[in-house]
Amino acid sequence: MRWRSREKELAWLLAAALAVKAVVLVQLGGHPLLQPQGDLDTARYVQLARQIAAGGPLAIHEPFFLSPLYVYFLAAVFSVHDSLAAARIVQIVLGTAAVGFVYLLARQWFGVRVARLAAGLALLTGFLTFSEILILQSALDPFLVASALYAVSRTQATGGRTALVAAGVALGLFGLNRPNGLAYGIAAPVLIALASRRQRVGRAALVLASLLAVVGANALRNYLASGDAILISSHGGLNFYIGNNADATGIYHRVPGVSASMAGQVRDATRVAEAAQGRSLAPAEVSSYFYTRAWQWIASEPIPALTLFARKALLLVNRIDVPLNYSYAFYRRDEPTLLRVLVAGPIVLLPFGMVGLFLGARGAGLPYWTWASFVPIYGASVAVFFVADRYRLPLFIPLAVLAAHALAWLCDAVTRRQYRALVLPLAGLALAATVSARDLGLDDGRGGERSRKAVWLIEQGRYDEARRYAAAAAEGLAYPGVFHFQVGEALTAAGRYGDAMAELRAALAIDRGEPAIRLALGQALLLAGRSEEAVGHLKAAADAAFRPEVSGPWLVRALAAAGERAEAVLALASLSDAVVDAASAATALEIGSLGLELQAPVPSERWLRSAVARHPGSAEAHEKLAVALVLQRRPHEALASIERACRLAPASASARLNLAVVYAQLGRVREARAAAREAMRLDPSEPRAAALLRALPRDSR
């Protein structure tokens, strides 16, 4: 009867958990900012999952760059019903099961009262529920960690093989979702063996073999797909380098030359590594390259490296959730959802959980540490790389159990008036709370998410709403200048130059002299036809050498539009070869053409050669390069370009006319006359062709 009562209690608890998660899913599942789009990790997961759902695990002909389990999960869902809503529903069901495993784990070690508290804390930790509605690998973490720790814990209650195999499989699945979680996955069999009284080696071997069977299946898939021996994924080296270099801060930062998006990291990390090594590299070699660079820095700078690791340890236990992709603080505090009442989080779980970790160890022995050691081991495995909210999320599962134990123990001690016993735990709690609450200058990402919302409103054409939202949203932000700047750029892209200038001027009033804002404001002014005002801002950005490949060409445009020809020519001539090389084909052609209008063929030539190199099929680029050479009296060099232009655009009257000019400069008058006549045939209204024909000597051969 007592057993039935407990199971009924668990059923009601699971029903409540599912109801809470379902409400949050309804409220946020369709939120426009939470959809997989653009270069976000979410879009990459969906793309890969659909490929596998359609063609099987080998449909992707490369090893996984990112953790593969979530790709497999999405692919399985899509093979049944190709819907993100279906994936999110499955995720909250798994999240509900995670609450159940938390309850069972706590009940096994600390009794029913603590189990209720632990499940309640897990349910009130809004970040867990928020993560479960995202299209990210972290959606699976609560279930994977809770099930793995419960499975490991069950090995201490039963010596059966089923429990050992279940523990190994659960640990392997978690490793496929969080490769750094293999640190605990390898330690757990050892701890299980040490905690066992008999058959130690056999028990550990069974857990480890089960783990390796799961991970090995993915390694085999990677090898069959690419011939590269990669156990889980190939992004470990880059992540390790992000967290361990001279510029590292302990959180994510962009590596020079490597874009922030997942797809960009795959491409750019390979390009950077291959350029450094001078040869083509396999994905495993690219990862090894970045690991080597990080270890070289650690070896050469041991004190800064240790200091950085200490900072990452502090970041790990800080109350602020450092966002990566999405700001939980924004969705909890800015959006009207149930997350507002799910108040448990790092500030509760971390201090009470750390105290509970040591209170639970009193007299528990090695069996307790088979699962509780997850906290220090996994925590260290995160700090070795870099800290982000979703990377430390797995810690919240055992910390919910341990925090519940600490709360129950402290309440019991007060009730029993065991005040002396409270001294050390309360001192530890005060210390842990102080460390967790310490201001480390972290950004919770609300400003960035507010910017994304304002930009989304602008993209939807809801300009008045966007303007009102931006005016209200800037209040209270740590970096309001950045917010106004990003909104201003979006308005410029939408062609709302007046509104854009207002936002950018507001940004400049906050962050005076910031070259990024000066550049954006100059661009908006020029696009609005206010070239004289634009010149000063663009010149300031160019003088600061801020994005010279952008600010330089824009300054030339503004000077030309303002009628300052001499200054425009001087600015054009001063642009470096690196700026020319960084320009797109369209920009190179535009600036080269502008140089011709400014009667500056010498600096124009560089831009037009770049345009031809980048787009060899462009008749216009070849023709204008020929014009630049003709203006420099270099017809022999111009001939090949103008003939190519005529072949690419046989119906172009201007190309035939310029061919006639080249022939005339070369003294090939008969051919010049024929080309001019062809130009007139193609465009009878072309006056320059008639003028050229009149100017050509009649008796020239």
- Does the pLDDT value for residue 209 go beyond 90? yes
How large is the average pLDDT for residues 503-515?
A: 92
How large is the average pLDDT for residues 608-624?
A: 93
* The two structure tokens encoding residue 82: 């190709």
More confidently predicted of 700 and 300: 300
Among 388, 233, 234, 394, which Cα is nearest to 321's?
388
Three-class secondary structure of residue 343 per DSSP: strand
Give the Cβ contact number of residue 543 at 10 Å: 12
Alpha helices in 441-584 (DSSP H): 446-459, 463-473, 480-493, 497-510, 515-527, 531-543, 548-561, 565-574, 577-582
Residue 701's pLDDT is: 46
Instruction: Please answer whether residues 483 and 474 qualify as being in contact, where contact means their C-beta atoms are separated by less than 8 angstroms.
Output: yes
* The two structure tokens encoding residue 54: 């359609």
Give the Cβ contact number of residue 3 at 10 Å: 7
Task: Give the span between the Cα atoms of 423 and 92, in whole angstroms.
Answer: 41
Residue 342's pLDDT is: 95
Residue 697's pLDDT is: 85
Quick one: DSSP state of residue 232? S
Three-class secondary structure of residue 443 per DSSP: coil
How large is the average pLDDT for residues 88-111?
A: 97
Residue 221 pLDDT grade (very low, low, confident, very high; cuts 50, 70, 90): very high
| pLDDT per position as a tens digit, 450-481 | 999 999 999 999 999 999 999 898 888 888 89
The residue extents of the domains of the chain are: 520-575, 579-644, 650-701
* The two structure tokens encoding residue 77: 């869902």
Task: Give the span between the Cα atoms of 296 and 276, in whole angstroms.
Answer: 15
Residue 699's pLDDT is: 55
125 beta partners: 343
How large is the average pLDDT for residues 576-587?
A: 89
| pLDDT per position as a tens digit, 352-372 | 999 999 999 887 889 999 999
* The two structure tokens encoding residue 181: 């979680």
Residue 225's pLDDT is: 86
How large is the average pLDDT for residues 524-541?
A: 95
Residue 593's pLDDT is: 94
Give the Cβ contact number of residue 454 at 10 Å: 25
More confidently predicted of 69 and 66: 69
pTM for this entry: 0.86
Inter-CA distances, 640 with 147, 202, 501, 619, 635, Å: 71, 78, 46, 12, 9
* The two structure tokens encoding residue 415: 């009730």
Our CA angle for 480, 481, 487, nearest 5°, is 90
| pLDDT per position as a tens digit, 380-432 | 999 999 999 999 999 999 999 999 999 999 999 999 988 888 999 999 999 99
Please give the share of the chain, as a percent, with pLDDT higher than 90. 74
Among 273, 497, 255, 250, which Cα is nearest to 388's?
250
Residue 394's pLDDT is: 97
How large is the average pLDDT for residues 210-230?
A: 91
Our CA angle for 10, 16, 17, nearest 5°, is 90
* The two structure tokens encoding residue 437: 């609450």
Task: Give the span between the Cα atoms of 143 and 130, in whole angstroms.
Answer: 14
Whether domain 579-644 has CATH 1.10.3470: no
The distance in angstroms from the start CA to the end CA of the chain is: 116
- Does the pLDDT value for residue 260 go beyond 80? no
Tokens 């130690």: give the residue: 200
Residue 2's pLDDT is: 58
- Does the pLDDT value for residue 211 go beyond 60? yes
**Range name among 38-52, 298-312, 323-337 with the lowest pLDDT average:** 38-52
Question: Which residues contact residue 341 at a Cβ distance below 8 angstroms, ignoring those fewer than 6 apart?
Answer: none
* The two structure tokens encoding residue 100: 């159940």
- Does the pLDDT value for residue 700 go beyond 50? no
Residue 389's pLDDT is: 93
Tokens 């291959």: give the residue: 274
Among 195, 150, 156, which Cα is nearest to 169's?
150
Among 47, 64, 42, 36, which Cα is nearest to 176's?
64
Task: Give the span between the Cα atoms of 63 and 220, in whole angstroms.
Answer: 10
324 beta partners: 326
Task: Give the span between the Cα atoms of 251 and 380, in whole angstroms.
Answer: 14
> Could you give the dihedral angle defined by the CA atoms of residues 217, 219, 223 and 226, in that order, rounded to the nearest 10 degrees?
110
Residue 3's pLDDT is: 56
Helix (H) / strand (E) containing 348: helix 346-361
Task: Give the span between the Cα atoms of 455 and 461, in whole angstroms.
Answer: 10
Q: Is 642 exposed, middle or buried (0-12, 13-18, 19+ CB in 10 A)?
A: buried
Give the Cβ contact number of residue 220 at 10 Å: 11
Give the Cβ contact number of residue 682 at 10 Å: 17
How large is the average pLDDT for residues 489-516?
A: 93
Task: Give the span between the Cα atoms of 420 and 194, in whole angstroms.
Answer: 34
Residue 281 pLDDT grade (very low, low, confident, very high; cuts 50, 70, 90): confident
Mean pLDDT score of the chain, rounded to an integer?
92
Give the number of residues written for the chain: 701
